[in-house]
Amino acid sequence: MGRKKKRRIVQREPDATFYKPQGIPMRNLEVATLSFEELEAIRLADAEGLSQEEGAQEMGVSRPTFGRVLTAARKVVAEALNKGLAIRIEGGHYTIASETPPCRKRGGRGRGRGIAAKAPCDK
Q: Could you tell me which residue, 12 or 77, shows the higher pLDDT?
A: 77
Work out the end-to-end distance of the chain between its first and last CA atoms, rounded to an integer number of angstroms.
Answer: 31
Is residue 115 one of the residues assigned to a domain?
A: no
Cβ-based burial of 43 (10 A; exposed 0-12, middle 13-18, buried ≥19): middle
The answer as to whether 118 is a domain residue is no
Q: 3 lies in a domain?
A: no
Structure confidence at residue 61 (pLDDT): 94
Domain-embedded: residue 76: yes
Q: How far apart are CA 79 and CA 73, in angstroms?
A: 10
Is 2 inside any structural domain? Answer: no
Range of the domain at 95: 8-99
Region 11-31 average pLDDT: 93
Residue 42 is assigned to a structural domain of this protein = yes
**Number of structural domains, the chain?**
1
Q: Any idea which of 8-12, 40-44, 77-81, 117-121 has the lowest mean pLDDT? A: 117-121
- Given a contact cutoff of 8 angstroms between Cβ atoms, the answer to whether 38 and 17 are in contact is no
What pLDDT, on the 0 to 100 scale, is given for residue 83? 96
Q: Is residue 120 part of a domain?
A: no
Closest by alpha carbon to 52, among 34, 78, 70, 33?
70
- 33 belongs to a structural domain: yes
Query: pTM (2 decimals)?
Result: 0.76
Where residue 98 falls among pLDDT bands split at 50, 70, 90?
confident
Of all residues in the chain, the percent with pLDDT exceeding 90 is 65
CATH number at residue 88: 1.10.10
Which tens digits make up the pLDDT trace of 82-96? 999 999 999 888 889
